[in-house]
Amino acid sequence: MKRTDLALEEKESIEGNKEITGVVLEEETMENGKVKISKVEIKDKHGSDVMRKPIGSYITIETKDMDLDSMKQITCSQLKKLFGNVKKEKIMVVGLGNREITPDALGPKVIDQLFVTRHLIREFGKEFQERNHFLEICALAPGVMAQTGMESREILQGIINNIIPDVVIVIDALAARNVSRVNRTIQITDTGICPGAGVGNNRKALNKETLGVEVIAIGVPTVVDAETIVEDRVEESLLQAGFSDEEVQVFLKEIRFHKEQNMFVTTKDVDEEINKMSEIISEAINQLCCEKV
């Protein structure tokens, strides 16, 4: 099974992207076709079982020619749509990942660029907050289990019990199935997140059921499974050579049996791309949180 954290890719992988009962896909393009927005809505248990993802909304923003200002505005507008009527006066932003490993540093880099306001509101009062149109924002980059010895959920539960936010926004690096989506795609979902799921390193889920508050997850695929790249190229070559689809699948099954596991790759300019994506996401959240309360 090719690994991916993107609901859109799961939908595309199911027998030629056929219609699925309980799953709705809506697509639109913006910026003269440079940006594509796809919304996958999983409405019931059947759709959830087929997609292997929780019931909820998954918004995917893809770009081929990245314009930072446009992407900031689009990401902010899509984030607002996903929030809907969710109360968001007090927001906690969590940047998951290991800042020492570039493809996993997205979350901490977003936190570094956020405009946090909780301490200002506590010092200068409610009148100061209303005059400046601030939401109450706090932020945390909890690191990874290898650094802290604790699950992210264990750390967050203790903090949430003290500050009681209305909603938690979680940012994390993801894994993609399609190479073209690496560092070029943002997924926003109201279903929370399972840290490390795309690279086979599952941790305890961060969602409303486990944390007790609404959870919005924002992710960017920064890696792709090496197996996926090999299989795609081999499959394409064999089909072009005249082998039947059945013969190709038998051959790929043999490759999977002998494959080396846990090898993931990213782009050579990952440093620059992570900086761009972290800027887009942080600015989108800053815009969202500095609107009139």
**Is 213 in a helix, a strand, or coil?**
coil
Question: What's residue 48's pLDDT?
Answer: 92
Between CA 87 and CA 62 the distance in angstroms is 28
Question: What's residue 198's pLDDT?
Answer: 46
Question: What's residue 259's pLDDT?
Answer: 56
Decide: 98 and 143 in contact? Cβ < 8 Å: yes
Between CA 53 and CA 247 the distance in angstroms is 31
Question: What's residue 220's pLDDT?
Answer: 96
Query: At 129, which helix (H) or strand (E)?
Result: helix 126-132
Decide: 104 and 141 in contact? Cβ < 8 Å: no
User: H-type helices in the chain, by residue range?
Assistant: 7-13, 45-51, 68-83, 106-112, 118-124, 126-132, 145-148, 152-163, 208-211, 226-240, 245-258, 270-289
Place of tokens 């059921």: 209
Q: Which residues of the chain have pLDDT under 50?
A: 198, 292-293
Place of tokens 């596991």: 261
